[in-house]
Every structure is written in structure tokens, then in C-alpha cells.
Amino acid sequence: MVFRIAVVGFCCLGLIGCKKDKPEGGQAGSAQGSQQGAAGDQPAPPSQAGKKAPEGCNSDLSQRIEVDFTFTEKCSPYTVDGELHVDGWTLTIEPGVEVRFKDQAALHVGYVSVARLLVKGTPEKPVKFTGERKEPGAWKSIQLYERAEQSSLENAVIEFAGGGDLPALYVQAADVSVKGLTVVSVKGTALKAELEKPMKALGGLDLSKAGGDPDALLQLSFATAGLLGEGNVYPEKAVVGLVGNVVRDVKLTAQAAPFRVPGELHVNAPEGKSAALTISAGTTLQLGETAAIYVGYAGPGALKVLGTKERPVVFTRYGDDQQATPWKGFVFYGGARAPELDFAVVEYAGRPDDAALHFADPRGLGKITNCTFRHSAGAGLKIDQPKARFEAFDGNVFEDLAGPALDMPIEFAHALGAGNKLGQAAVLLRDATHRDTTLTALDGPYWLRGEVYVDGETGKTAALTIDPGAKLKALENASLSIGYSGAAKLIAKGTADKPIVFDAVQGSWKGVHNYPAATVELDNVTISGVGDDDSPLVLDADSKGEVKGLTLKGTKKGVKACGSKATISGVKADKGVAAQEKCD
């Protein structure tokens, strides 16, 4: 039979707060009681005074239930024919009880009035929700609506559910606990909980025999997915679908199935709140073509990726044509705190005009260590104007990138670790630095793009120090200018075994120009690839310092020295080229 709670009073007179929206199952819910309240307010249930409890077992549910009721093992099994609505009372189910659902039957809790479902199974005596027919989709689902807060399912089995494309278990209420749930032979989705607020607890899931759609077996919000601990069991090829944004602290624990993010994810909290996404070792996130991870766009946010060498955290593109249709990658905005990424693998991310990781204007670049960036259609990392440099950048590997490993203002290339492996990529330097900056020797070159300046700010001197063995290659018409608008130094002291090399990537470049506020210290440096009409090294009248051990290759001109404040010695040039030229 169909069991429903009667509507008392008239909605139009305001005596009953009737809810017109249809529940997930498509049937209008019961409307017993007037206590509706906003979701999360947790109003008290309607009074049960004067209402009678069913007599005897009521296993066929032929008697109307209006007060708190318990399904007992002694009276099991209970049969649901149609849609059972729990509104204004609490349904408690004892260990060992079996609830059988006829075709298209369902259990709705807290749709109209405050209600609870308390399933109290044990490992030895689980509570079983099953279909009268033993096949997927034989009955609909268990649905916990907004007013079902404080419900709990412990040690329960749900089988043969999911009729009408419904999830076997649908959770819309916060503060719900699901522990020790086994799902068997369902049609479509086993559990859907996409509520913004997190559930109270979620764990001990056994979905190994759930069947259904492996791509949609679990559909969770990030807040709820953060409750998943270790030990959950999944069938082969299953994924955990994630939706929504991170507006509070969330930690994803590695599962035997990957997490899947089909669209954009924002990590930011309202002002004064905290929103940090922490991802533990061994976690895999699969991202769709339109997916992106935006941190700190509309409020404070943070990202921590805590992989290990044996168990890295993997961000990858799911589906076909991964290389041709990469996901958008990470973007860190003004509200982003300095990120921390250790042993992460980022692949098939970043568009041709962008990067796998794009730092727009975050509070800092943070720590990027032991990470692998591969198969990107753009750069590995692109940096605009963060507020602080890297705290650490070492042990990173770059493979199969269409763009440079890093695309950044020279100011933020300071002290990159020597343990990075650039492969065929380079570190592209642009714009200017106004403070001391050191370029360490990497296993690949630095590229200079456009006019790159080293200029101190008022009352301060900015020094660009280039370590022995560093290679700087300039793009077409690029140049390096020292002391143009403020006091600056160029310190490039190579050794016989590790000279410092300036060269061109393609075409020719315009050389190094030291303006009047510049001080230069060069030793064991080679400059080549300069245009025929350009001097490889220019020393203006008031620039000072010492140049020695300088080798010029393939140039038509020598060092252009316009004053006597700089000491020049030991310059070697090609045959027929004067090592030093005077100004006109």
C-alpha cells in the first residue's frame, strides 16, 4: 500500500506551511505539521501530543505513523509499498532489520517537517534495505532532505535501488552521519551528497559490488568528500565525482578511486574565514576540458599538495584527446596565500597562451618542490606580479612543454634551485628587477625577452648576480640594461670550468648596456649572437667596475667603452674585430 502522512488544515489560511517543490522522486511530499523552517535552523519537530502509535508490529505499514516509531528485529521484515514519508517524527531501525521495497517504492525523510532516520545496524547485524525484486532499479531510493539533519546510517546495506535514475542514497541535509554503508547492485549512482555544508561523517563505504555507473558512482561536494577517510572499497574504474567550491578548510584523503572534477573549482572563503584545500599523498584528481582550479579569486584561499616520492598527487585530464584538449590549469589570484606543492604531477594542463600554473597576483609564490610538469600546451609556470618570491623551488621536472618551463619577471627568478630539470625547456625572463636577484646555474638556459632592466629604487642599489655556469639566451631584439633609472650592479663572475654564456635563441639580440648608474663586474664571460649593428657590451661614461676575461664570438663590434671609470682587460674578439671601441 502507499503510506502517506495526511495534510492537516489549509495551506491558503497559513495554518500549514505546504512545500510545493517536488522531491527527488518526482512525487509531492507529505505535509504533516507546520514546522518547516530554513535549512540549517534545526527547528523542533511538531508536537506529537495526542497522536497514537500503531499497535503491534505494523510490519506492512498499514497503520498510519504519526509519532516516533522503531522497526524492530522481532517484527522484521517491513514492507514499503509506494512512498514512505517520515515527517515530524523519528524512525529508528534496530540491528538485523530488513526493509523490503516494492517496485518504485522510496523512503523520504524530512521533506516537509523536521524528522530523523536513525539506522542502528552493527557489523554482525546490519540493517538491510532491499527490493522485492532482486535486480538493479527495483525500487527508488532513500532520500534525506534538508529537515533530516542529525539522521544517521550505521552498518547498513542498500541493494537493488536507484529506480528512475535516482541515487540509491540521496543526502541533502547537513549534520548527517553515514558509517559502514554497503551498496549492492544499484542502477546509476550509489550516493549523492552535493550539499554545500559538509555531512557530519562519511566513511566505511563498500561499493565493490555496487554496479551502477562507475563514472557517477559517488557524487559529492568537496566539503563532504573531505570526510572520506582511508579504507573505502570501490569497484574497478570507479571515480568519485566532485562538484561545488571550497569555501572552508577541506582535506582530500587518497582513495582507491580517483576524484573527478568536471568544471571550475574556486578555493576561497568569505572575508574573515578560512578556506584551504589540502590534498594528501597518493590522491589522483581527474579534470575535464573546462576544468580549472582558481585559488583566492573572491576571498582568501590556500592550496597544499602533500605528496611523497612513492605516492605523488596527480592532476590529469580525463577522457580522450588529453593533449589536444587540456584542462585549464591552476590560477592563483590576489586572495591566494602562498601555495605549497610537494611531489605533485601536473599533466595535460594549460592552454597555449597560458600555463599549467599561473600566478596572477597572489600573496607569494610559496614552495614548489619535487613536482613534475608535463604535456602542457603552454608554459609550466607563468608568473605575473606576486607579492613575494618563492620560498623554495627545487627538484622539479619539466617534460614535453610547448612553452618555457617558467615565464616570469626576472625579479622572481631569484635563487631557483639547481636541482630542477628543465629538459628541453627554459626559464623565460622579462620585465625588470628592483632588488638584489641571483640567477643560479640551471641544467637549461634562461631566455631574455624584450628589454630586461636592473634598476634600484630610490636610495637603494639592485644587484643582478649571475652564478658560474649559467646560460642566458636572448630572443630576437632582446637586451639587458643595467642602471638605467636607478643604481644597479651586474655581477657575472664565471670560472674557467664554468663560464657564464650570453647568446641568442634565434636571430640576434642587442647585448648588455650599462648606463651611468651601473657598476659591472665581469669575469670569464662569453657574449655572442649580437646583431651586426649592436655592441655586445656598452659601458656609458659614468658606469664603473671591472671587465676581464671577456670573450666575444660572432660579433662585428667590440666592447663600447665611453668613459674611464671602468677597468677593461683581457677581452678576446674574433679575428678582424677590435676588442674595444671608443664612443663617437
Encode pLDDT of 310-335 as tens digits. Answer: 999 999 999 888 988 999 999 999 99
Rounded Cα gap, residues 473 and 313, in angstroms: 34
Report the C-alpha gap between 60 and 81 in whole angstroms.
8
- The mean per-residue pLDDT over the stretch 297-303 comes to 96
Residue 470 pLDDT exceeds 90: yes
- Whether the pLDDT of residue 513 is over 60: the answer is yes
pLDDT confidence tier of residue 31, bands split at 50, 70 and 90: very low
Q: DSSP secondary-structure letter at 391? A: E
Q: Which amino acid is at 421?
A: K
Query: Which letter does DSSP use for residue 410 in this model?
Result: G
Q: Which residues are bridge partners to 178 per DSSP?
A: 153, 202
Which residue has cell 570526510? 227
pLDDT of 294 above 80: yes
Question: Can you read off the three cell numbers belonging to residue 183?
Answer: 551498496
**Over residues 283-289, mean pLDDT:** 97
Q: Between the CA of residue 38 and those of 114, 173, 262, 417, what are the distances in Å?
A: 11, 11, 30, 54
| pLDDT at residue number 553 | 96
pLDDT band at 46 (very low <50, low <70, confident <90, very high): low
Determine the Cα–Cα distance for residues 454 and 487; give it in Å rounded to an integer. Answer: 9
pLDDT in tens, 546-571: 999 999 999 999 999 988 789 999 99
- The average confidence (pLDDT) of the chain is 91
Model confidence at 44, pLDDT cuts 50, 70, 90, reads low
Average pLDDT over residues 282-307: 97
Q: Dihedral (C-alpha) 224, 226, 231, 235: value to the nearest 10 degrees?
A: 60
Q: Evaluate if residue 27 carries a pLDDT over 60.
A: no
Phi (first) and psi of residue 202, to 5 degrees: -155, 120
Q: Is the pLDDT of residue 34 over 60?
A: no
